[in-house]
Amino acid sequence: MFTYDVAIIGAGAGGLNTAMEAISMGKKVVLVDKYKPGGECTWAGCIPSKALIQLADEIHTAKNMPTLKSMGSK
């Protein structure tokens, strides 16, 4: 049998931060989640969409650079 000081349901951003805080206080922590640690935001929501937006911005910037335009970039 395992013994923990703190049980956190949900290993999303809030659960992970709470776990880290409890660990820093010397508590033995267990995280319970049916999904991957990090939650939906990490794997399918906010972070992946922001990475795609950043990539699109970089491509747009590169395509609109004066040196590339003069070379016929479309």
Residues 2 and 31 in one domain: yes
Residues 29 and 55 in one domain: no
Q: Could you give the number of structural domains in the chain?
A: 2
Residues 53 and 29 in one domain: no
Domain housing 5: 1-43
* Long-range Cβ contacts of 2-5 (<8 Å, 24+ apart): 2/30, 3/28, 4/28, 4/29, 4/30, 5/29
Residues 22 and 52 in one domain: no
How confident is residue 30, by pLDDT bands cut at 50, 70 and 90? very high
Structure confidence by residue, pLDDT tens digits, 36-71: 777 777 777 777 788 888 899 999 988 888 876 666
Residues 38 and 4 in one domain: yes
pTM for the model: 0.55
Residues 61 and 73 in one domain: yes
Residues 24 and 57 in one domain: no
Per DSSP, which regions of 1-74 are E strands? 6-9, 29-32
Predicted confidence at residue 23, as pLDDT, reads: 97
